[in-house]
Structures are given as structure tokens and as C-alpha cells.
Structure 1
Amino acid sequence: MANKIPAPGQNGYDKLPSISLPAGSEMWTGIEAWAEIDRTAALRAGIDPPLVIIDCYPGVDLSALTGEITATLPEYNVVDMEQLAALPSAVIDAMIARNLTDDRVFGVMSHATIDEFYDSERIGDLVRQLDLRQVPTVVIGWGAAQVRTSDAIVVLADMPRWEIQRRLRAGAPNWRCTNFDEDILRKYKRGFFVEWRVADRHKRTIFDRIDFLLDTTSPTAGNVVTGDAFRGALKLATQGPFRVVPFFDPGVWGGQWMKDRLELDPAQENYAWGFDCVPEENSLLLQAPDGQRMEIPAIDLVLAQPRELLGEKTFARFGAEFPIRFDFLDTMGGGELSLQVHPLTDYIQDTFGMNYTQDESYYLLDCDDDAVVYLGVKTGVDPHQMVAALHEATDGQHPFPAEEYINMFPVKKHDHFLIPAGTVHCSGANSMVLEISATPFIFTFKLWDWGRVGTDGIPRPINIEHGERNIQWDRNTEWVTDNLVGQVDVLSDVPGLREERTGLHELEFIEVRRHWFTTEAGHDTHGTVNVLNLVEGDEVEIVSPSGAFVPFVVHYAETFIVPAAVGPYIVRRTPGSKSETFATVKASVRGTSFGDD
């Protein structure tokens, strides 16, 4: 992974945003952390030897964690739950074969539960043995909380998905696998479609009963907080604006804008992606009163506080899933993204088991004069001829002439291009795109990749067979021009404040509003989560009209989340702002708030 938590930049972009733990909370590290767990376990067990259950998210290094426990708590007997009771790997592989498929990238969403991966009789035997234990004992492993005893202390050893990806890239295997050298896309597929789905489903059931949360993101001894502090921090997070921890990654088409403007690691060749609001992948930093911090998955907030975060209507529609994604696509000084199309809703449900599809839009934060967006097929294109040309291009000898088949629209700063699923598209070179999209983010059917290989030297997968089943050929030059380009409606315009609707298309569920202002702009969540980015101006603060939360400062290009529970809020210039004009783009779920009017 590239520069997951880089140092703060001088331009104000905060790469280490944090959320406060409740007042009075403590955070322990290393020996102190294990001593606190031991002390609490001894109090819970009474006259019996202490018992600690450590349930680990798949990706946690059990060997390293076991070594840390034996070094700091040598009197404890450590029982590896996975070795003792997990089903053989070959049996599990057979169970999930249909979910993994033979495809390099795509699988089928798993609805398995953790108990399906374990031998229930062996777990029952373990529980009986623990009732008769004679020494302090730790039970460790993914799914360890299946061992239920009234006198055990339960610890959740958690880890964000992006850290898991970093480890997979570095050669770590998937859970109970020996696929150390397997293609990273196949490793990721196993995590995305199976392991993480089962793991999130499982840990959501134990949030209310964990006694401690252990941060396993760092390779060194992780920080620990109590379960009450963890739950309290998530509750507090829904009462005011917050940001997730952004991460950045290079790519074959990556550019230089983020490296320069956000002051990322200059040693990296480029940065292609910046993920500033993808709660499934991003982290949250929890900060103790003494300044110590720990990293947890942002998805924990979605799973633990869905109604307060998303709002009742959005939760009723999507369940405990954050439906809106903001990320950066940087091609400034780089190259074109792959020419691609995303699946229609019916296709993604039927083929991959995903509830909703990857609708997108491109908002131009910046661009050079020659920048373009490829969007929709040209009027008069013969579908059979175009598909044949795409297939021919896969031999590496016949480049696909995209300009002959695909519309190319010149772009300028603050343009917003709408991309409902089924529309062929890609961002051209020399653009800095804020992508405002539905959360599903791996269902990209690449049609043409400009003859490149990936950063690993391996050709990136081309998915023409999937793609041709989803291309909407009637989205031609006229349709795209009338429906997807320049769709700006001025809703109100008074001195110092203009509100505009900039999308998305009626086929998409996200509503986007842009507010231009000189001093302040009033907002209301209207009972659904809001996601915003400061697209113009140096610095603003988010304040509550009733003082319900402390002012929250946001800098240029930062994405921030306003939970549904917040209600009214104001975005205003700070006393130190030097800009004359400000603008935010705000996304919410259409049909749950201002999208109704």
C-alpha cells in the first residue's frame, strides 16, 4: 500500500483526521494493555483462572499476536481456535468454490456465517474443557467468540480492509490458505466476496459484548480501549461531522496533482486513487484524551450505528451499508483510465449477488486545457463492429480506436459528468476527478486499457464478455449530451449564496447539490446521511445552529460526512479563511431528503 497515513500537508489537507473517545476513556499499549486485560479477566473469573477470548478479523497475524501474548503473559495457556476447531481448508474451499468462481476478478457475494467454517462438536468440547481449566487461558482466532462462557473477557482484534490489502500485496495469504504468491486480484476477490462478508456479519453480532478492542493495524504492539469506550466513540461520531482516514495508491494511469497539492510522498512515481470516503475500506482514528490514537475500520461505525449514521429511510433501503462513495482519480500528467462500463442493476444482482450497482459521476476539481472525458457511444456506431474491434485489440497488435467509437467531451474545472450504469466511459489524461458514486467499486468491466500492463507488470484484466452484455447502445451522442453533460439547475440565487442541482441522472439514486457562497450556507440532513467535499475555497467550518457539536474545520478537497442524526448545520468561512468564494458539493440518497423536491 502506498502512503496509507501520510504526514499532514502545509496546505491544510488533513491526512490524519480523528474522532474523540468519550471523556475519561483510557488507551493502553503493549505491556500495559495486556496487564489491563489480565486484571479485568481476573476480576471477571473470580476464584477461577482468568479466561480471555480474542476474536481476530481475518488478516490478523495470529503467530505474531500469539508471540506477543506469550511474551507479556507467560503464565497463560494459548489455545489456537482455528487449529483446534476450523474445518480443513479443502472443505472450506469446496464450500465457497461457487462464490470464488474461476474469474480472476469477480465472484459471487457470500451469505455464509462463521459457524459454517467450524466443527460445532469441537467447539463444544473446547467449552467443556475451559470450564475445567486449571491455568489462565487465552483462546485466539477468527470466530473465537463462538466460545461462550460467562466468566470470559472478550477482545475484538480488528483491522481495516486496506491494511489487509497491504499485507496481501506483501505476500500474506488469505485466511487459512497457503496462497502466498497468488495473484493479488484473486486474493482480494476471496476477501471481498467471502471472508470480509462473513467477518463483518460475525463481528456485528459481538460489538455489544466485547470488553476490549485491540488495534492490530500496526506491526508493533497495538493500542487497546475498553468496549465501552469503543461503543461510546461510535455513538459520539454520529452526533457531528467527521472524516475517515484517507489513503492513496499509485496506478498505471496515475498523475501528479495529489502528490503536489496534498503533499504526498514525493518518492512515489504517481498517485492514481485517493480514497477519502469509502467506509468499507477506510479507517477511523480514535483519539484518547491524552492524545494517543488507534486505528479501526470505518465500517464498524456503519455496522454499529446504522440508523443514526444513515437515517431511518436510507437504512431501510440499503441496510447497514454506506451507499455513497467519494474518491479521487488523478490523471494530471498521467494517462487515460481504462475504457469501461459498469453493470446494470439486474445484471449485478443476478451475476454477482450485489444489491445495487456502481453508478458514477465525474466532478472536475481541476484539469488542463486539453482534458477530455470519454462518455457514451457515438451516434451511428455498429455494436457488432465495435465489440469486434475491442476483441481484436486484446491481441496487443491492433489498438482500439476509441475516438472513432466513443464521444469525447472537453472538460473544464467544476464540470460534472453523470455516468449511470451501462454507459461506456473513462476519464482522459490531465484531469483531477472527484468521483461521486454509489459504493460498489470493483465492478468495473474494462473494455480497453490502451495496451498497458499493471504496476505489477501483468496485463490488467479485460472484461469484454461482461461489458458487451451491459453497454447501453442507445446512449449515443445526442442522448449523452442531453442527459449526462452540463446538467445544472439553479434552485436559488440570492446575494452571497447560490444553490444548484448538478445531478445525478434520474436512473441513479444519488442527488448532488452544489452551494456557492461567500460567507455561509445553511443545510439540513433531513434524516439522511450527507457527504460533502469543499471543491472551492481554502477553509470552512461546520457548525451547529444549536451548538450541538463543536465547530469542525474542513480544508480544500477534503471529504466529510454529516450523519443523519445531526439535522441542521451551517457551512461557513473560518475567521482565517483567505478565499473570497467557496463551494461544496453535497450528495445524499434521492427520495429520502431534498431529493424529493
Structure 2
Amino acid sequence: SGVLVGDAAAAVELPFQLIVAVHPEQIMGAGVHETFGTSFPVRFDYLDTLDGGNLSVHCHPRPGYMSDVFGWPYPQHETYYLMVGGEEHKVFLGLRGDADVAEFHRLAQQAREEAVPLEIERFVQVFPAAAHQLFCVPAGTPHGSGAGNVVLEISATPYLYSLRFYDWLRRGADDTQRPVHVEHAFENLNTERTGAAVGVELKQAPRTLRAGDGWREELLGSLPEMFFEVRRIVLSDDVAVEDDTLGRFHVLNVVEGAGVEVAPVDAPHHVLAFAETLLVPAAVGPYRLNRLGDQPVRVVKALVR
């Protein structure tokens, strides 16, 4: 990512990571900098399977494996926020309560070696991909987005380590089966993320944290092992919602409605439109969100706890 510095007539684009390295406490906050150094720890991106197929069912390395095998100091916890979906669409998440892990392993190896289709739903749970639902995906949890979705992925920054159990026998440009990582995946599979608990712990109901006339802030997803949490601010009226970084950065994304004006107390205001993402540096401190348009607006916010 790049950052434009200067005015419209003479802007220079600088690498975002360079700015973080030079000003880590102003960007991330002292506490986050102490934990993560100059590695900005949260990323937002989109997974688009509209007019496509299911993504691979995979997991990400658990903390010890991530550091020992891949040399990364923190794990790739994720969340899925459904921008576009539907009750008829799917999200794969967590093991079934009756999953036989040894049989799952055997059939995943068979799919890799003999190109035999794997009935993944025998082992991995499926949830309706309802729009505006958040799913928590801690490292080690089997997961994947089904066809027909647009997912806002709010994740820890590492992105290279998707350990695939199964990729639907897809073939690459060289007409060979695309690589999967069965042994890595099963080394990291969290067999405790199983059964009915998955639908409670990883598909959490929104909890109101604070509210006023015409607005509320909800907690959508938070787990003890995940260092960040995801919230949502709902603006249903023309009111200014006061917020404050309190020394830790916020990342915002408009997930419904025309957008918001982000108005720091002592800095230029910024218009954030639908589906755009904005970093509010830790040094900003107090700021306001003002709704644009006359329809409800929802803004997702991620922060390091």
C-alpha cells in the first residue's frame, strides 16, 4: 500500500510500511509498537467469489508453528465479514461434531494423490452466508468462503500461509492439480473447534457497547486468542458519533450506506465512501463520524485490544 503525501498538484506516493517504520508510535500507538515492532498488524482485503466457485478449505498456522516453521512472530487470525451473501450461500467453518479426523486426513491425502473428490461437508461445518454476519477464524480453524459471496476479510497481517486441506481438485495453467498442503494443514488443525460451540463462539451475536439517539456501537467478534477485535458503528440518524483512538489505531470500512465523514478534532476531515477502508492513526485521538446521505450507514472498525 502507498500513501500520497502533498497536495493534488504535487503528490508523492510513499510506501505505507516506510511511514510505519519511521513513525511507529504515531501510526500504531506505543502499546501496539511495543508488541509488534514496526509490523503493522491488521489488514483489510476482499474475497470475491461472485460468479465463481468455492474457495479452498484451509487453515492458518497456529502460533508456535507459525514462528518455528515459517519464521513469523505472530499468527494469522482472521475474520470474515459478509458484504454480499445470502441464506442460500455458504461459509465453511470449524469441524463437525461427529468428524472423524483420521478419516478426514486419509481422504484429503487421497484427493491430493489420486484426484478423488472429497465430500468436505462430512467433516467441516457449513453456515449460511448471511449479509453483515461476522465469522471469527482463529488460526488452526478449517474455513473457506463459498461461491457467490463478497467477504471483507479483516485479518492479522500475514497472508502467505493458507494451508489447504482441499481445493476441489482444481487444475492450474499447466493442467496439473493445484498444490494443497495436507500435512501442514493437519499439523495445525484445531480439533477443539468443533460441533455446536463453533456456531456460538465463532459466529457471535452483536453486543451493544455504547449507544445514543440514532446510533450505536456493537462488538461483532472478539476471542481471547485473537489480539484484535471487530466492532460496528450503526448510524441511523443525522447525528455525530464521537470516538477516540485512545492511543491505538483504528481501521474503518463502510459496509452499508453512502458513507461517512471522518472528522478529527485537529486535522483535515476525510470522506469515506461505501467499501472504502481508512486507517485512523493512534495520534489522531478524538474524532467524529458524520453520516452521509439519508439512509442508515454501517461502519466496521477493527482495533488491537
Normalising by structure 2, what TM-score? 0.95
Note if 1:298 corresponds to 2:16: yes
Q: CA contact under 8 A between 1:396 and 1:451: conserved in structure 2?
A: no
Matched, 1:581 2:296: yes
- The answer (yes or no) to whether the contact 2:80–2:154 under 8 Å persists in 1 is yes
1:514 maps to what in 2? 232
From 197, 205, 224, the equivalent of 1:487 is 205
| Structure-2 residue corresponding to 1:346 | 64
Match of 1:543 in 2: 263
Distance in 1, matches of 2:8 and 2:188, equals 53
Paired residue for 1:397?
115
The alignment partner of 2:65 has SS state of helix
Counterparts of residues 96-111 of structure 1 (less than 5 Å): none
Task: Indicate the residue corresponding to 1:525 in structure 2.
Answer: 245
CA distance in 2, matches of 1:295, 1:396: 49
- Hey, what does 2:5 align to over in structure 1? 286
| Contact 1:345–1:356, Cα closer than 8 Å, also in 2 | yes
Distance 2:298 2:279 in 1: 16
Residue 289 of structure 2 is aligned to residue 571 of structure 1 = yes
In structure 2, relative to structure 1, the CA distance for the partners of 1:456 and 1:588 (3 Å cut) is farther
Instruction: Tell me the amino acid that sits aligned with residue 583 of structure 1.
Output: R
Q: List aligned pairs for 1:287-436, cutoff 5 A.
A: 287=6, 289=7, 291-436=9-154
Q: 1:455 to 1:540 in 2, by over 3 A?
A: farther
Per-residue CA deviations over 1:235-293 (Å, capped at 9, x if unaligned) read xxxxxxxxxxxxxxxxxxxxxxxxxxxxxxxxxxxxxxxxxxxxxxx222334x46134
Distance (Å, rounded) in 1 between the aligned partners of 2:45 and 2:294 = 24
Q: Greater helix share, 1 or 2?
A: 1
Note the C-alpha offset of 1:588: 0.8
**Mapped partners of 1:496, 1:349: distance in 2:** 45
Contact (CA 8 Å) 2:258, 2:295: kept in 1 or not? no
Q: How many aligned residue pairs are there?
A: 303
Name stretches of at least 5 consecutive residues in structure 2 with no aligned partner. none
- Runs (5+) with no aligned partner, structure 1: 1-281, 591-597
Superposition CA RMSD, Å: 1.6
CA contact (8 A) 2:95 2:123 kept: yes
Q: Deviations over 1:83-135 (max 9, x none)?
A: xxxxxxxxxxxxxxxxxxxxxxxxxxxxxxxxxxxxxxxxxxxxxxxxxxxxx
Asked if 2 retains the 8 angstrom alpha-carbon contact of 1:361 and 1:504, the reply is no
Larger radius of gyration: 1
CA distance in 1, matches of 2:81, 2:175: 31
C-alpha distance 527-458 of structure 1, shift in aligned 2 (>3 A): farther
Cα distance in 2 for partners of 1:439, 1:394 equals: 29
Judge conservation of contact 1:332–1:367 (CA < 8 Å) in 2. no
Q: Highest relative contact order (Cα 8 Å, sep 6+), 1 or 2?
A: 2
What is the TM-score of this pair, normalised by structure 1?
0.49
- 1:44-63 superposed matches below 5 A: none
Identity of aligned residues (%): 37
CA spacing shift, 1:500–1:301, aligned 2, 3 Å: same
Matching of residues 431-450 of structure 1 within 5 Å: 431-450=149-168
1:475 and 2:193 equivalent? Answer: yes
CA distance in 2, matches of 1:361, 1:456: 33
The 3-state SS of whatever aligns with 1:389 is: helix
